[in-house]
Structure formats: C-alpha cells, structure tokens
Amino acid sequence: MNNNATQKVLLNSQKTALIVKRFALELIENHGDLSKSAIIGLQPRGIELAEAIRNEVVNIMGSNVKFGTLDHTFYRDDISRGGIHIPKPSKIDFSTENLRIILIDDVLYTGRSIRAAIDAIMRFGRPSDIELMVMVDRIHQREVPIKPDYKGVSIDSRNTEQFVKVEWKSQSEVAVWLLDKKS
C-alpha cells in the first residue's frame, strides 16, 4: 500500500458479517426457497461475497441453492482499448432459463462491468429476472443506467481520486477500505 495514500475503513469484519446475513435473509424473504433462483458471483472480486451469501443461505435454510461464477471479459466494451485482459473460466453448470438470477459483485462503480455481465449471463439461457447485489455502491459515477437491488453501503464517489478495496482474508475476516490514489 502506498505510504502517501490516505485510507479509511468503510466496513470491518463484524459489519460485513451483518451485511452478509441481511443479504441472505432478504433473498429468502424475496425468493422463498430459492428453487427457481441462482446466485452468480462476478469474477474476480464478487466470488467471495457470493460464496459467503450462499453459505449463509444454506445455513439458514438447510438446503442448497444453484451457484455459479461468471467471467465477463469478452463482453466488456473496452476489450479492444489496449491492456491485457486475462479471462478466468465461468462456472455455471445449469441453464439460467427462467431462473431468477442474483448477480453479485463487491463494488458497483460505473456500471460497465455489470452491463457486460448481463450480456454474458444470456449465453446460459434467458433468465426471468436479474437482480444485482453489491457490498459497496459508489454513487454519482454511473456511466450506464444500472443500480443495485441490494446494497451493503453507499458512498459518495464524486472524488475520482478515490477507490474502494475489499480484502477477503477469510469468510470471517473481511475489510473494506476507501483509499486516495495520491502518490
């Protein structure tokens, strides 16, 4: 971490655990037994959150829920703008046809990754519904009209010199930081 960067803890492990439990309870309330639903974590940083939520749902309900991971690399609108994009494998071993999809990512910023992920999900079938769940909603910097259905916290992100870092050391040890990019 840059010594000149300022940092602020947005969420500690206790608050993150409460958010994960709340997310699981909201999903059960809104989806019932989740038999017609699937949780999909967005590569790379949404997977840990998606796994934590799936585990909490299973702990509460005692039954499993469809789960997958999705890489949206080839659906990005900046794929040909330089830089190297190394795709990771998507793992969705079920059809999304007529399922209610809960797409999970750690931070929502411009919305471009989510737009690409929605396009990528369609190759697995046509869902009846896609909901978005994020740990941190960075408001005020959206470039496409996307908003979360479920969010842990919202932060004012008018300062483009700041970024959010989510550190998952384990399912019970998580920290979310707001950092300044000053060098």
Per-residue pLDDT tens over the stretch 90-111: 999 999 999 999 999 999 988 9
pTM of the full structure: 0.87
Q: Residue 64 is encoded by which pair of tokens?
A: 């499993």
Question: Within the chain, where are the H helices?
Answer: 13-31, 46-61, 112-121
Tell me the pLDDT band of 2, cut-offs 50, 70 and 90: very low
Q: How confident is the model at residue 76 (pLDDT cuts 50, 70, 90)?
A: low
Q: Which residue has the higher pLDDT, 83 or 114?
A: 114
Nearest to 124 by CA among 68, 62, 65, 180: 68
Spans of all domains in the chain:
7-180
How far apart CA 22 and CA 152 sit, in angstroms, is 9
pLDDT interval class at 121 (50, 70, 90): very high
Query: Taking residues 65-79, what's their average pLDDT?
Result: 81
Residue 1 has pLDDT above 50, yes or no: no
Residue 98 Rama label (left phi>0; alpha psi -120 to 50; beta): left
Higher pLDDT, 97 or 3: 97
For all residues of the chain together, what is the average pLDDT? Answer: 86
**CATH ID of 7-180, from 3.40.50.2300, 1.10.3720.10, 3.40.1000.10, 3.40.50.2020:** 3.40.50.2020
